[in-house]
Chains A and B, each alone.
Chain A
Amino acid sequence: MRRDRRTMALMFAVPLLMLTVFGYAARYDVASIPTAVVGPVPPGVVQALGPAFPVVQRQPAGTEASARRLLRDSKAQVALVPTAGGTAVLVDGTELFSAESALRRLDGVPGARVELLYNPRLKTSSVMLPGIIGFILLFVGLFIISLGVVREREQGTLEQFAVTPLRPVDVILGKMVPYFLIALFNLVLGVVAAIVLFGVPFRGSVLLFAAFGLSFLFAVLGFGVLVATASRTQAQAVQLAILVILPQVMVSGMVFPLNAMPAGVRWLGWIMPLTYFILGTRGILLKAAPLTAVWFPLVVLVAMAAAVFGLSVVQFRRVLA
């Protein structure tokens, strides 16, 4: 057992990681809700909100439309804007825990007319499903790819290709394309199920959603191949896949809100592809976020996918060489 470092890591490092991350990250109560002040809002109203609503954006000449745009683009989660009947407090309903926290805190604020945007009934399924789709892609993709490739290594059929005229790139494509298509089918199935079974709206651009989906699939494919090339047996691949999946689920914002986590743990979320997939797809599905609103998570996701996928191809070539 002491020579099996991976099992040792799974027995000791993962529980430690779970304990640490769950301990620090597992917070549903969001104590700090980024707030925008748009237009001539009386200073008293802003002060009445208290320190839980730090002002991150001020647009003195802004209108209600620009306030809504700020929430759509995830520049803030709450926006104050003057209206004929007083001050409207617009709350982004896609940030479920921030919205719930904001509603609780706004309860006692006089003259605040609260309006929930994008997810007015605060449906958990609408907010969770983009993350769950990402998790399913990660889970299924990682396991089918890594187990499939490792199984071929175990059976000695992968090295068989080295004596054929097939180039490594032919073999890599031959292995990856079917898995990619299966994962793509899973993605489409997940979205259709989310819409039909759970009533999740699809308000944004299909093309933009596809860009997020494909980038994430490449990253998953890359992770799967990396796990396969680092594993000699299917059991090792399973262990390693769990080590890749667990942290992504814990700190990607899928279960626990990112802005409720302390900075020491939150940075882990910013290096996980699932985080950017959730940010982008949640915005596209629920808020009809355009490219100008989600370009940053898309660029990061594409860069991550290119890096992971590129590294996986290099490693796969080494295995085939």
Chain B
Amino acid sequence: MTWAAAGVVVRFGPTTALDGVDVTLEAGRIHALIGGDGSGKSTLLRALAGVQPIDAGTVRRPPAGHIGFVSAGGGVFPDLTVDENVEFIAGAYRLAAWRDRADGLLQRAGLTPFRDRVAGHLSGGQHRKLAGTLALLPQPALLVLDELTTGLDPLSRMEIWRLQADAAAAGTAVVAATAYLDEAERAEEVVLLHRGRVLAAGSPQSVVDAVPGCVDDVAQPDDPDRAWRRGARWRQWRPEGERRPDAPLRLEDAAIIIELSAELAADR
């Protein structure tokens, strides 16, 4: 089963947040949505989940009750305990036999010791893991996650990725916006958004392979327009250069180059 956005346009007053976006989401696969701040990631996710009205285009999504959605920073009722959150969501989705599944998900998310704790008193990581658990509880056909891992420690990020991977293995189409390109590299599909448009889509490797030239690791760039910092050194893109096997491109490099090219083209 596939879910899709086709030619989706969303405007906020004079600002076009999404400008004819096409995305296909396949069951059993994880799709990473990447892009800079204001690229339209959250708007696209909200449109896919059905909580954002669209101005043009179409969205094919599962019916309500078969979608799991975690908005940026949301998805948890802070005045309820962990158990009460789970019970409330089970009620809202009208789930019948959910307790065993909830036990398993809470165990997997490392939240079992905190079941009686009020969600508002959980740590940031626990809060986000609970949000993910709640979204997964109804065994959704489409799981939409907006930067669920942002600001979390590596261990918590790993646990959330494990939850997503489990969902995909069970046949859920997962689409997750992320600020971490190393996470996006683990997804089966990557969609790069820039100023409300899809600049690149495909497997992480195919996105990398589509970028021409090579990237050098240099102390001081001689072409600042095509260079960016990484730690104390610089990465510099040479469009005409030949890629060497000992200096492979990473998804992060590819994403920066694609966005850089779009900016340079727009400037021209």
Is residue B49 contacting chain A, with contact meaning CB distance below 8 A?
yes
A160–B65 CB distance below 8 A: no
Bound together, the chains give a CA A82 to CA B258 distance in angstroms of 98
Tell me, yes or no, whether B73 is within 8 Å of chain A by CB: yes
Q: Which of B61-81 contact A (CB under 8 A)?
A: 64-65, 67-69, 71-78
Question: How far, in Å, is A151 (CB) from chain B's closest CB?
Answer: 9
User: Does B92 lie at the interface of the complex (its beta carbon under 8 Å from any beta carbon of A)?
Assistant: yes
Report the separation of the CA atoms of residues A155 and B64 in the bound assembly, to the nearest whole angstrom: 21
Interchain nearest-CB distance for A155 vs B (Å): 6
With the chains together, A159 CA to B46 CA distance in Å?
10
Tally chain B residues at the interface, Cβ within 8 Å. 22
Interface assignment of A139: CB less than 8 Å from any CB of chain B: no
- Chain A interface residue count: which class? 10 to 19
A156-B71, A321-B53 known; A163+B77 contact, CB < 8 A: no
* Inter-chain contact A156/B64, CB cutoff 8 Å: no
B74 near A163 (CB under 8 angstroms)?
no
* B53 proximity list for chain A (CB < 8 A): 321
CB of B229 within 8 Å of the partner chain: no
B78 touches A159 (CB 8 A): no
Q: Is the CB of B51 within 8 A of A165?
A: no
Report yes or no: A162 in contact with B64, Cβ–Cβ below 8 A: yes
With an 8 A cutoff between CB atoms, is B36 at the interface?
no
Residue B93, interface by CB 8 Å: yes
A157 to B64, CA, bound (A): 16
Q: Are A161's CB and B50's CB within 8 A?
A: no
Residues of chain B lying within 8 A (CB to CB) of residue A157: 74-77
Residue with the greatest number of chain B CB neighbours at <10 A, chosen from A156, A162, A163, A164: A163
Cα–Cα, bound, A20→B173 (Å): 61
Q: Known contacts A162-B49, A162-B51, A163-B51; decide if A156 and B74 are in contact (CB<8 Å).
A: yes
From known contacts A156-B74, A157-B74, infer whether A165 and B93 are also in contact, taking CB-CB under 8 Å.
yes
Say whether, besides A163-B67, A165-B94, A166-B92, A156 and B75 are in contact (CB < 8 Å).
Answer: yes
Bound form: Cα–Cα A321–B49 in Å: 11
In whole angstroms, how far apart are the Cα atoms of A157 and B131 in the complex? 10
A163 CB to closest chain B CB (Å) equals 4
Contact A162 B50 (CB under 8 A): yes
**Within the assembled complex, what's the spacing in Å between the Cα atoms of A62 and B68?**
74
Q: Which residues of A are at the interface with B, using a C-beta cutoff of 8 A?
A: 155-157, 159-166, 321
What are 6 A-B pairs at a CB distance below 8 A?
A159-B51, A160-B75, A162-B50, A163-B49, A163-B64, A163-B67
